[in-house]
Amino acid sequence: MFTSLGSGYFSAKAGSNHFVFHYLSGDLFLVTPDLHERITTDGLTEADVANLAAVGYEHRSDVTVSKQTYSSTIDRYINGYRGPSVLDLAISELCNLNCHMCIHAYAVEKGRPRKSQKIMPLETAIAWIDYYLDVWSSEADLHHLSFHFGAAEPMLNKNCLLGSIRHIQAKPTILEKEILINTNCLFAIVCG
């Protein structure tokens, strides 16, 4: 179990070892059990603070988040959420690799057998693109439109991918458009 110490620091116990670490920098500090107790209870002495600072740990017990700051953050990121700003089209569940670390391959394997993977028809992709361009972008007040083709290997559904890109580029809009493709590029290399 981790205990938040503020300023991005957490503490943890693992058996007889006591650790303090920073979640962004990855800095890890092994401390004695009594020092760990003083850190987690804000009972550090001036000597403790100096010794910790010498190894890069800055303990700040004065960091608090006011109720107003918390409320404005909630309002901005949760209550002010207008929906997705990227259209993510998984046009293919097929892949020409079987990478053991691929989260998509794991999800598809657990969901259904590999032989039943699907590809999206161009008509379906165009319907979603039109909705995103014509309806959603104005409802969500978007000024930048992002289209992402990914999940497995989108180039294995080449006709849908190319047709979708042509359709996006042909649609008139004053908004900036961005097209992103996650691919291993093997299909493009083999097929030229």
Model pLDDT for residues 76-131, shown as the tens digit of each residue:
656 666 667 889 999 988 888 877 777 666 666 665 555 556 889 999 999 999 98
Q: pLDDT band for position 53 (50/70/90)? A: confident
Whole-number Cα distances in Å, 6 to 9, 21, 26, 60, 163:
6, 11, 15, 7, 50
pLDDT at 129: 93
pLDDT at 169: 92
Is the per-residue pLDDT at 136 higher than 50? yes
* For residues 34-47, average pLDDT: 80
**Tens of pLDDT along 140-175?**
777 788 999 987 889 989 999 999 999 999 988 777
46-54 and 33-40 helices, crossing angle to 10°:
110
Whether residue 150 contacts residue 182, with contact meaning beta carbons closer than 8 Å, is answered with yes
pLDDT at 69: 59
Residue 76 backbone dihedrals phi, psi, to 5 degrees = -70, -45
Is the per-residue pLDDT at 51 higher than 80? no
Is the per-residue pLDDT at 65 higher than 50? no
Domain boundaries defined on the chain: 2-54, 86-191
* For residues 35-59, average pLDDT: 76
Q: pLDDT band for position 3 (50/70/90)? A: low
Whether residue 181 contacts residue 146, with contact meaning beta carbons closer than 8 Å, is answered with no
**3-class secondary-structure state, position 136:** helix
Is the per-residue pLDDT at 19 higher than 60? yes
Is the per-residue pLDDT at 192 higher than 80? no
pLDDT at 133: 86
Whether residue 59 contacts residue 5, with contact meaning beta carbons closer than 8 Å, is answered with yes
More confident position, 40 or 127 = 127
